């Protein structure tokens, strides 16, 4: 009989010094916190992370944008423009396993907090830099914002209706992808350090991450010279795979192979389509999209959404309702997966927060803790990590180094 799996958090004992702001870096460090790392979020006194002021929406004056990317962290208010503030962060870096930052090029070096500075005092430090265009190249000094990166990466050019304008995704996808890339790179660096004992510098660019998720569309251009166009909700290489209108709304239909298409034809009363050389294979359907789709649209428009969802799903073909955000977050399958947590909070009593989507059976992610107020953990972290007593902390506050 096998032993019970360990319930220890996967990254228990890992300390993360978080010098990042807004979304890409905080998204990365939030995932590390979910996995059990101790995350010290360094924020400017009196101001904090930029997203603390990004509202509405808000709850009691607190930005929900900030809440989305900062669960389970400790906020430490340190003035990096003050020499003593720089010393504090340098001392924390001696104790840290990982540092994540997204300052402009050269800013942390000016404070004596660049990679070379900190690697000299902590050779095992994994130092992850996140920027718009990377720490090398002709645009390394430029700021990078998701909206601009979506435009420059080609993502906008393939999003939107064929005759319409390029459209951005509804969330800051290049920030989120880069945050995920940061987690992957940091975990890989931790594994490498376990073998060789050395830390390293990780250089992540939003533009790199955005271009990488062009995926099949990018490969189509690189390998075959195919210049993609916008297809609205259609798919460039799979048909039918899009939104279809119904008598009372619409639904998403994803016919992923020829067998599914044959079943669709049968339930629509046109079994002969699956044998038609113009439709029998996916390649044929893509080439004859303009002929097939209007026929499908006319059939689906004749019945209600619920009718089609029941019949299409019963045939084993992927289909789903086009939900609003509130409908998605209150869906029974989201509840069944435990994705939403009622989290204790000192100010609001409870906050409804998302849990980590990483379901590890043996070492599950931690239960969310409420995102911190600005400087909430300054004294506790500095006392615990640097052994500073009340006298030392009061002196630093008096100098304006901490708050």
Beta-bridged to residue 340, according to DSSP, are 354
Residue of 146, 175, 208, 345 marked active site: 175
Using alpha carbons, select from 334, 307, 335 the residue that is nearest to residue 321. Answer: 307
Q: What is the pTM of this model?
A: 0.94
Element (H, E) at 332: helix 332-336
Write the CA distances from 144 to 44, 62, 132, integer angstroms: 21, 25, 4
Check if the beta carbon of residue 207 is closer than 8 Å to that of residue 149: yes
Q: How many CB atoms lie within 10 A of CB 123?
A: 12
Write the CA distances from 100 to 26, 104, 190, 399, integer angstroms: 9, 13, 14, 26
Check if the beta carbon of residue 152 is closer than 8 Å to that of residue 143: no
Give the model's pLDDT for residue 7: 64
- What are the two backbone dihedrals, phi and then psi, of residue 40, each rounded to the nearest 5 degrees? -100, 105
Check if the beta carbon of residue 379 is closer than 8 Å to that of residue 393: yes
CA 280 to chain centre: 38
Q: Can you list the domains of the chain with their CATH numbers?
A: 15-213+339-399 (3.40.50.10540), 241-321 (3.30.1540.10)
Beta-strand pair 58-59/62-63: antiparallel
Give the model's pLDDT for residue 146: 97
The edge-to-edge listing of strands for the beta sheet with 126-131 is 74-77, 38-43, 15-19, 98-101, 126-131, 200-205
Write the CA distances from 167 to 241, 244, 252, integer angstroms: 20, 20, 20
Write the CA distances from 323 to 8, 144, 240, 326, 328, integer angstroms: 37, 32, 20, 8, 6
Write the CA distances from 318 to 152, 340, 360, integer angstroms: 33, 25, 26
Cα–Cα distance measured from residue 5 to residue 144, given in angstroms and rounded to the nearest whole number: 43
- What are the two backbone dihedrals, phi and then psi, of residue 15, each rounded to the nearest 5 degrees? -110, 130
Write the CA distances from 5 to 10, 23, 184, 297, 360, integer angstroms: 12, 34, 24, 51, 10
Cα–Cα distance measured from residue 97 to residue 10, given in angstroms and rounded to the nearest whole number: 14
List the chain pLDDT tens, one digit each, 403 residues.
Answer: 334 445 699 999 999 999 999 999 999 999 999 999 999 999 999 999 999 999 999 999 999 999 999 999 999 999 999 999 999 999 999 999 999 999 999 999 999 999 999 999 999 999 999 999 999 999 999 999 999 999 999 999 999 999 999 999 999 999 999 999 999 999 999 999 999 999 999 999 999 999 999 999 999 999 999 989 999 999 999 999 999 999 999 999 999 999 999 999 999 999 999 999 999 999 999 999 999 999 999 999 999 999 999 999 999 999 999 999 999 999 999 999 999 999 999 999 999 999 999 999 999 999 999 999 999 999 999 999 999 999 999 999 999 999 9
Cα–Cα distance measured from residue 252 to residue 322, given in angstroms and rounded to the nearest whole number: 7
Check if the beta carbon of residue 178 is closer than 8 Å to that of residue 207: no
Among this protein's residues, is 342 annotated catalytic? Answer: no
Using alpha carbons, select from 397, 294, 379 the residue that is nearest to residue 40. Answer: 379
């Amino acid at each position: 009989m096998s032993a019970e799996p360990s319930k220890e958090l996967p990254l228990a004992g890992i300390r993360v010094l978080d010098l990042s702001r807004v979304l890409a870096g905080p998204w990365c460090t939030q995932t590390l916190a979910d996995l059990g790392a101790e995350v010290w979020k360094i924020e400017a006194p009196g101001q904090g992370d930029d997203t603390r002021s990004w509202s509405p929406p808000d709850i009691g004056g607190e930005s929900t944008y900030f809440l989305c990317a900062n669960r389970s962290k400790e906020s430490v208010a340190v003035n990096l423009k003050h020499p003593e503030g720089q010393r504090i962060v340098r001392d924390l870096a001696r104790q840290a396993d990982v540092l994540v930052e997204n300052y402009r090029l050269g800013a942390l070096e000016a404070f004596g907090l660049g990679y070379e500075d900190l690697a000299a005092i902590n050779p095992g430090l994994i130092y992850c830099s996140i920027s718009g265009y990377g720490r090398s190249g002709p645009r390394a000094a430029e700021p990078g914002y998701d909206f601009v990166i979506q435009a420059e990466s080609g993502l906008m050019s393939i999003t939107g209706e064929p005759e319409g304008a390029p459209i951005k995704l509804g969330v800051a996808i290049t920030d989120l992808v880069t945050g995920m890339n940061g987690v992957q790179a940091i975990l890989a660096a931790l594994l490498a350090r376990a073998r060789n004992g050395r830390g390293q510098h990780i250089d992540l660019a939003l533009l790199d991450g955005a271009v990488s998720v062009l995926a099949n569309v990018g490969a189509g251009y690189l390998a075959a010279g195919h210049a993609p166009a916008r297809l609205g909700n259609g798919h460039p290489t799979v048909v039918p795979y899009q939104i279809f209108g119904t008598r009372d709304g619409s639904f998403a239909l994803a016919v992923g192979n020829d067998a599914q298409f044959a079943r669709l034809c049968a339930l629509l009363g046109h079994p002969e389509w699956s044998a038609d050389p113009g439709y029998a294979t996916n390649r044929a359907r893509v080439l004859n999209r303009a002929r097939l789709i209007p026929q499908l649209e006319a059939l689906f428009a004749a019945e209600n959404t619920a009718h089609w969802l029941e019949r299409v799903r019963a045939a084993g073909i992927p289909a789903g309702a086009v939900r609003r955000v509130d409908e998605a977050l209150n869906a029974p399958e989201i509840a069944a997966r435990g994705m939403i947590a009622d989290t204790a909070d000192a100010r609001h009593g409870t906050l409804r927060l998302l849990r980590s989507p990483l379901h590890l059976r043996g070492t599950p992610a931690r239960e969310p803790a409420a995102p911190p107020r600005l400087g909430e953990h300054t004294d506790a972290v500095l006392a615990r990590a640097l052994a500073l007593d009340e006298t030392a902390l009061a002196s630093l506050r008096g100098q304006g180094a901490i708050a």
